[in-house]
Amino acid sequence: MSSELRPPEPWHSFLRDLDDALQVPARLDCIGGFVVTQLYGLARPTADVDVIELAPREASEALMQIAMQGGPLHRKHRIYLDRVGVAAIPENYEERLTEMFPGAYRHLRLMALDPYDIALSKLERNSQKDRDDVRYLSRTVPFSLPTLQQRYEAELRWQLGRPDREDLTMKLWMEMLAEK
């Protein structure tokens, strides 16, 4: 896991500009490639920070305007904030958030989802890149497969539109992660 006090470039400059634009404390709940690379050490580039929650609400509109794809900070740094609105996430994820780079910015607090929650947020899409990320997390953390299954059943399954289909995906994942 990363123990750096601030993220590497171009992330630091991008986040510092974002921080400078804030007048009040703001919290970003982060998910996806940015967290997997910065907190769990996967060596792959990503062009965006996937955010599932941005609080307070008053700050979120202004931040998204300058930092979303096509906005001034994207044009300057070639990376951007992406608000992920559709992913189903285990219901108690907020209790398990970890702060990334605490104290690195004046107003901005970057919160990372727990690795099991990150993995489960990818279940519905289940693309090759999602499976690769989940496999990586499973080996690095490392995952307890019964914990993953239990969290799926207790905190995620009831939220899903097609739970029968996702049961099959979960079965695939368990087989895949159990393979050497």
Partner 1 sequence: MTGNDLKSARTASNWTQAEAAHRLGVTQAYLSMVERGNRPVSDDLTSAALQVFPLPATARPIEDRPAAKAGEEFFKRALGELGYPGFAYMESQQLLNPAELLLLALDSEDLDARVTEALPWLPFHFPEMNWNWLTSESKSRDRQNRLAYVALLASDVAQKRGDTQIAEKLHSRVTALERSRLANEDTLAKSSMSQAERKWLRTHRTPSAAHWNLLTDLKAEDLQHVF
Q: If binding is defined by CB under 8 A, does position 172 make contact with partner 1?
A: yes
Using CB under 8 A, which of 77, 109, 122, 151 touches partner 1?
Answer: 77
Using CB under 8 A, which of 131, 134, 148, 166 touches partner 1?
Answer: 131
Q: If binding is defined by CB under 8 A, does position 44 make contact with partner 1?
A: yes
Using CB under 8 A, which of 25, 72, 78, 162 touches partner 1?
Answer: 78
3-state secondary structure of 100: strand
Q: How far is the CB of 94 from partner 1 (least distance, A)?
A: 27
Three-state SS for 54-118 is: EECHHHHHHHHHHHECCCHHHHHHCCEEEECCCCCCCCCHHHHCEEECCCCCCCEEEEECCHHHH
Considering only CA atoms, which of 132, 145, 138, 84 is closest in space to residue 115?
138
User: Considering only 16-24, 44-52, 138-146, 148-156, which stretch makes contact with partner 1 by CB under 8 A?
Assistant: 44-52
Question: Which residue, 72 or 102, is less far from partner 1 as judged by CB?
Answer: 72
| Angle, vertex CA 94, rays to CA 96 and CA 150, nearest 5 | 60
Query: Quick check: 102 and 27 in contact, CB under 8 A?
Result: no
Q: If binding is defined by CB under 8 A, does position 27 make contact with partner 1?
A: no
Report how far residue 102's alpha carbon sits from residue 82's, in angstroms, rounded to the nearest whole number: 21
Q: If binding is defined by CB under 8 A, does position 129 make contact with partner 1?
A: yes
User: Considering only 55-63, 88-96, 108-116, 171-179, which stretch makes contact with partner 1 by CB under 8 A?
Assistant: 171-179
Question: Which residue, 59 or 119, is less far from partner 1 as judged by CB?
Answer: 119
Report how far residue 159's alpha carbon sits from residue 161's, in angstroms, rounded to the nearest whole number: 7
Query: Quick check: 28 and 110 in contact, CB under 8 A?
Result: yes
Q: If binding is defined by CB under 8 A, does position 153 make contact with partner 1?
A: no
Q: Which residues bind partner 1 (CB under 8 A)?
A: 10, 44-45, 47, 77-79, 126-129, 131-132, 135, 172, 175-176, 179
